[in-house]
Structure 1
Amino acid sequence: MSSTTRPRAYVEHVAIWVQDIQWHIRFFDQVLGMTLREVQGPLDSPSQYWTLGGMQFMAKPDFAEPEGRLGHIGIMCEDLEVAIAEAQSFGVTAMPQGRNWLRLPDGLAVELIQASPGSVAHALSINPRNFS
């Protein structure tokens, strides 16, 4: 990577394990207006549910850890190939889901996703805390 070119990316979704997926769907919809973006399985009993706004709920009714345990972080990359190549120098481990899935040395799972052209720059140009 050139010293003048820095990779750019943003968090697109955070995936959490939940025991009661319907409760989480209702809460994030009714309280925060985070509606359906994508679903895996039937709507009345999905195995996974993604919201507009970056949440992914993964149903695991027998999950014994605290509710909302982090499953992985999905990150949109301007250049997926550059990000994967750069990640290798940090001692990451490939995961079975694919070469864009990385396990960091501390155990965190990261899914790197190729963004459409210009979308990362656009997303990073938005300052949601700027009220002026």
Structure 2
Amino acid sequence: MSIPKAYVEHVAVWVKDIHWHIRFFNDVFGMTLREVQGTVEDPVQYWNLGGMQFMSAPDFEGPDGRLGHLGVMCEDMEAALAAAWQFDVSEMPQGRNWLRLPDGLAVEFIQASPAASVAQILAINPRV
């Protein structure tokens, strides 16, 4: 079995002030809205073009930016899931494509659409 090709498609973080984070990533990096749960005025979750997902947690008393989960885009999600089950992982309530690693990290496995080439994304050298 070959190793599935995949990349981190988004990073989800819990934040107290979701609007501050939306403005920061928009104004500094130009990362604009891709999707919102709730409304733009009152978002529960906000995804931007650039791979960030902000999850609103205004009552949290710890540090901002707590990692919620990694969203990993897979060329072959079923093969990646099969490989993952060889490790000490557990399924999460969100569904069979959500796994909790032994250290607590949550990983969302996402199937790439046929038109989206994981190999093309992985071929991009961000340092050039």
Count of residues in Structure 1 that have an aligned counterpart in Structure 2: 127
Residue correspondence of structure 1 range 43-62 to structure 2 within 5 A = 43-62=40-59
Q: What's 2:91 paired with? A: 94
Q: What's 1:129 paired with? A: 127
Corresponding residue to 2:117 among 109, 113, 119: 119
Corresponding residue to 1:41 among 38, 43, 62: 38
The RMSD of aligned alpha carbons is 0.8
Identity %: 71
Write the distance in 2 (CA, Å) between the matches of 1:116 and 1:128. Answer: 23
Q: Name the SS for the 1:47 alignment partner.
A: strand
Write the distance in 1 (CA, Å) between the matches of 2:80 and 2:87. Answer: 11
Write the distance in 2 (CA, Å) between the matches of 1:64 and 1:119. Answer: 41
Name segments (4+ residues, structure 1) moved above 2 Å: none
Q: Name the SS for the 2:122 alignment partner.
A: helix
Structure 2 alignment gaps of length 5 or more: none
Write the distance in 2 (CA, Å) between the matches of 1:129 and 1:41. Answer: 36
The alpha-carbon deviation at position 14 of structure 1 amounts to 0.2
Task: Give the TM-score taking structure 2 as reference length.
Answer: 0.96
The alpha-carbon deviation at position 64 of structure 1 amounts to 1.6
Q: Which amino acid aligns with 1:93?
A: S
Corresponding residue to 2:14 among 17, 22, 25: 17
Write the distance in 2 (CA, Å) between the matches of 1:64 and 1:27. Answer: 21
Write the distance in 2 (CA, Å) between the matches of 1:88 and 1:44. Answer: 40
Q: Name the SS for the 1:113 alignment partner.
A: strand
